[in-house]
């Protein structure tokens, strides 16, 4: 396969409060989709020593729930959400929320496009709650979310 060299790139849009990330992968959209919507998630939501996803379960259909749990910053974390759109192998939209946290969930949209020699995967993580919505948070959430967030931030990719 040729031309698939583009590395992963993630940028923060400070104004919209979202992350846009993309990567080109030398494999088929079908193969990529499977990695996004199966327990295979535990193989790539991983940064050794920083966050380590150990379990993923999901009912991959519109309205179905997913949950991922693991260890980050020396303590456990759990993420969960619901599938909003399931259109293999083109699009997957799911809500994303730290389990037990107040506030509205954020949204993760995966778009898969076939390109010469592979697949371009674009991720948009939007509706990330601004700090003003995190103002009246419970102490437990603060410790789990902020710990993970700070640990992620202090170990830039």
User: Binding residues for another protein, per CB under 8 A?
Assistant: 4, 7-12, 14-15, 17, 19, 21-23, 25-27, 31-32, 35, 43-47, 50-51, 121, 123, 125, 128, 130-132, 134-135, 148-153, 155-157
Q: Token digits for 108?
A: 């993760």
Q: Which is nearer to another protein, 35 or 99 (CB)?
A: 35
**Pairing mode, if any, of strands 75-87 and 65-72?**
antiparallel
Q: Which is nearer to another protein, 48 or 63 (CB)?
A: 48
Q: Which is nearer to another protein, 14 or 63 (CB)?
A: 14
Q: What strands lie across the sheet with 91-98, from one edge to the other?
A: 9-13, 18-25, 118-126, 106-115, 91-98, 75-87, 65-72, 51-58, 46-47
Distance between CA 148 and CA 75 in Å, rounded? 9
Q: How far is the CB of 104 from another protein (least distance, A)?
A: 15
Q: How far is the CB of 65 from another protein (least distance, A)?
A: 21
Q: How far is the CB of 105 from another protein (least distance, A)?
A: 13
Q: Which is nearer to another protein, 90 or 155 (CB)?
A: 155
Q: Which is nearer to another protein, 12 or 62 (CB)?
A: 12
**In the beta sheet, which residues pair with residue 52?**
46, 71
Q: How far is the CB of 85 from another protein (least distance, A)?
A: 19
Say which residues have a Cβ less than 8 Å from residue 83's Cβ, sequence separation at least 6.
58, 59, 60, 61, 62, 63, 64, 65, 66, 92, 93, 94
Q: How far is the CB of 39 from another protein (least distance, A)?
A: 13
């Amino acid at each position: 396969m040729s031309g698939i060299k583009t590395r992963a790139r993630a940028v923060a849009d400070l104004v919209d409060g979202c992350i846009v990330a993309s990567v080109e992968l030398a494999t088929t959209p079908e193969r990529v989709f499977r990695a996004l919507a199966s327990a295979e998630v535990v193989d790539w939501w991983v940064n050794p020593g920083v966050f380590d996803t150990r379990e993923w379960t999901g009912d991959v259909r519109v309205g179905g729930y997913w949950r991922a749990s693991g260890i980050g910053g020396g303590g456990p974390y759990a993420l969960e959400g619901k599938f909003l759109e399931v259109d293999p192998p083109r699009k997957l939209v799911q809500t994303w929320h730290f389990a037990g946290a107040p506030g509205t969930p954020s949204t993760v949209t995966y778009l898969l496009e076939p390109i010469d020699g592979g697949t371009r995967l674009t991720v948009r993580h939007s509706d990330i709650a601004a700090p003003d919505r995190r103002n009246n948070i419970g102490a437990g959430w603060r410790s789990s979310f902020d710990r993970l967030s700070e640990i992620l931030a202090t170990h830039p990719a």
